[in-house]
């Protein structure tokens, strides 16, 4: 009788092959990341596109997982690699690396991306990975990649997370390869209005007013990133944001933009939580946080604000309130999550000071035990937002709790580690 080999068996076997319990988190991340750095054949689906970002998010959260949750969190990291490698690999071997300066490699990558030459893009991405560590990538290619809506507009998330997640280099810069290939596949997908915008005349208060005045346009036939952003690119975003962004610093813009995105998760239509409101924060945050490393930091603010406008215009069915009013449900945080998204949000929002650490750990641990890439990406984004905008900390905790409650209520039939 032939024994059936399940996906779970493959994941456990791969975990053992990679070193299992005998290797550190850093070594495990490094070995998983190397497996996810080789592009797959054909147009990337959502999993392939998110795999490098999921590895980075899980790696960043892993040190904060509760001890009892660490075995599953490590297996989830390995599961990304096994699922990634189950997809058809590129037929050709990796191109040889040519030695050149980071600046020349970056210029070659930008040129290859604009020409939609996928082979040239892959060569240039490898050359850049070999010549530059994760830290300077934003300065080298950030201004060129930031307006791109190819690869679901996720290039800024990669540029933001890579250097901070892997300061020792455990996640190689070669993780850029799968992302670069998707960017090069559709170079025409761009957020265009941000290239010509006023340089002065803005204020943080005016940005807040603009984000509170986004019209409800409805979904433009698809909830994919490009249609949502294209819908506001020609008129709505430039009219709302053009007069208000000029001269505003990242520090002043950050709380306005991040809080608007987090409020959408807490108070926007619940059906858009997993893929709409989660991206509203992660994409906007990344553009803001890489802005200081850009040649033109104001570009990061413009893209971040445009992302929020695009999501609000398409997915909100009414203006999102500028203040959060939630009654505390009392009881434990675990019970609140089990009672649904609104209950979870309210419990996080009203957490006492001495509860925040435990709730934070519970959210991280539960997120890392689950199958979805968007959940770990969003959890990390909320924790980062709490750190840089402590005045909005309870809002970001409520937002993270909201998405956790959404996924807690769902049994994922595609989960390879479901028990």
Structure tokens at 289: 């946080």
In which residue are the tokens 């809080």 written?
Answer: 259
Residue 51 · residue 5 · CB < 8 Å: no
240 neighbors 214 (Cβ within 8 angstroms): yes
Question: pTM here?
Answer: 0.95
| pLDDT at residue number 2 | 36
Q: Is 368 exposed, middle or buried (0-12, 13-18, 19+ CB in 10 A)?
A: buried
The C-alpha atoms of residue 232 and residue 244 are separated, in whole angstroms, by 16
For residue 148, the cross-strand partners are 190
DSSP assigned state of 174: G
DSSP H or E segment with residue 88:
none
Contact (Cβ atoms closer than 8 angstroms) between residue 409 and residue 337 = no
Distance CA 25, CA 116 (A): 37
| Distance from C-alpha of 30 to C-alpha of 18, rounded to nearest angstrom | 10
Alpha carbons 90 and 38: distance in angstroms, whole number: 8
**Is-contact 77 369, C-beta < 8 A?**
no
Report the candidate in 383, 341, 393 with the shortest Cα–Cα distance to residue 362.
383
Work out whether the CA dihedral 274, 212, 398, 54 comes out positive or negative.
Answer: positive
Return the SS3 of 28.
helix
Write down the pLDDT at residue 134.
Answer: 58
Other beta carbons within 10 angstroms of residue 128's beta carbon come to: 28
40, β-bridge pairs:
89
Neighbours of 35 (CB within 10 A): 17
pLDDT at 5 (0 to 100): 47
Q: Given this model, what pLDDT does residue 301 score?
A: 97
Please give the full DSSP string across 1-46, using - where no structure is assigned. Answer: -PPPPPHHHHHHHHHHHHTGGGS-HHHHHHHHHHHTSSPBSSS--H
Q: What is the pLDDT along the chain (419 residues), one digit of tens a residue?
A: 334 446 899 999 999 999 999 999 999 999 999 999 888 877 888 888 899 999 999 999 999 999 999 999 999 999 999 999 888 877 555 667 778 889 999 999 999 999 989 989 988 998 998 888 656 899 999 999 999 999 999 999 999 999 888 766 678 888 898 899 999 999 999 999 999 888 788 999 999 999 999 999 999 999 999 999 999 999 999 999 999 999 999 999 999 999 999 999 999 999 999 999 999 999 999 999 999 999 999 999 999 999 999 999 999 999 999 999 999 999 999 999 999 999 999 999 999 999 999 999 999 999 999 999 999 999 999 999 999 999 999 999 999 999 999 999 988 888 888 85
| Cβ contacts of 398 within 8 Å, gap of 6 or more | 262, 266, 324, 326, 344, 345, 346, 348, 349
CB 340 within 8 A of CB 270: no
Buried b (16+ CB within 10 A) or exposed e, 235-265: ebbbebbbebbbebebeebbbbbbbbbbbbb
Residue 6: the pLDDT is 67
Q: Please give the structure tokens belonging to residue 284.
A: 């906007």
Q: How far apart are CA 335 and CA 368, in angstroms?
A: 19
Closest to 81 (Cα-Cα) out of 125, 157, 17, 167: 17
Distance linking the first and last C-alpha atoms of the chain: 24
Please tell me the total number of residues recorded for the chain in this structure.
419
Q: In the block, which residue shows the tokens 């890489």? A: 290
The DSSP bridge partners found for residue 89 are 40
């Amino acid at each position: 009788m032939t024994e059936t080999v399940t996906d779970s068996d493959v994941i456990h076997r791969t975990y053992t092959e990679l070193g299992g319990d005998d290797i550190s988190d850093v070594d495990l991340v490094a070995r998983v990341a190397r497996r996810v750095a080789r592009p797959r054949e054909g147009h990337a689906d959502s999993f392939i596109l998110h795999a490098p970002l999921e590895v980075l998010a899980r790696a960043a959260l892993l040190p904060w997982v509760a001890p009892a949750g660490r075995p599953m969190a490590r297996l989830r990291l390995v599961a990304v690699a096994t699922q990634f490698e189950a997809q058809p690999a590129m037929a050709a071997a990796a191109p040889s690396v040519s030695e050149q300066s980071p600046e020349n490699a970056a210029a070659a990558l930008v040129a290859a991306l604009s020409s939609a030459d996928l082979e040239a893009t892959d060569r240039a991405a490898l050359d850049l990975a070999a010549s530059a560590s994760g830290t300077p990538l934003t300065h080298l290619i950030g201004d060129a990649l930031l307006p791109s809506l190819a690869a679901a507009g996720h290039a800024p998330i990669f540029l933001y997370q890579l250097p901070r997640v892997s300061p020792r280099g455990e996640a190689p810069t070669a993780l850029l390869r799968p992302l670069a290939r998707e960017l090069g596949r559709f170079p025409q997908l761009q957020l265009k209005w941000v290239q010509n915008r006023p340089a002065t005349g803005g204020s943080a208060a005016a940005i807040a007013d603009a984000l509170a005045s986004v019209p409800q346009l409805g979904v433009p036939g698809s909830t994919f990133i490009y249609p949502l952003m294209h819908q506001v690119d020609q008129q709505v975003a430039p009219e709302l944001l053009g007069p208000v962004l000029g001269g505003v610093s990242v520090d002043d813009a950050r709380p306005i933009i991040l809080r608007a995105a987090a409020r959408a998760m807490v108070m926007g239509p619940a059906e858009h939580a997993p893929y709409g409101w989660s991206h509203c924060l992660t994409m906007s945050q990344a553009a803001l946080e890489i802005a200081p490393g850009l040649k033109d930091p104001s570009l990061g603010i413009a893209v971040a604000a445009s992302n929020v406008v695009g999501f609000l215009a398409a997915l909100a069915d009414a203006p999102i309130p500028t203040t959060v009013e939630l009654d505390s449900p009392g009881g434990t945080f675990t019970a609140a999550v089990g009672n649904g998204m609104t209950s979870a949000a309210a419990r996080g929002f009203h957490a006492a000071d001495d509860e925040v650490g435990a709730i934070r750990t519970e959210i991280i641990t539960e997120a890392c035990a689950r199958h979805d890439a968007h959940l770990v990406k969003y959890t990390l984004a909320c924790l980062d937002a709490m750190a840089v905008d402590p005045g909005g900390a309870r809002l970001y905790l409520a937002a993270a709790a909201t998405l956790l409650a959404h996924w807690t209520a769902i049994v994922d039939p595609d989960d390879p580690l479901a028990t």
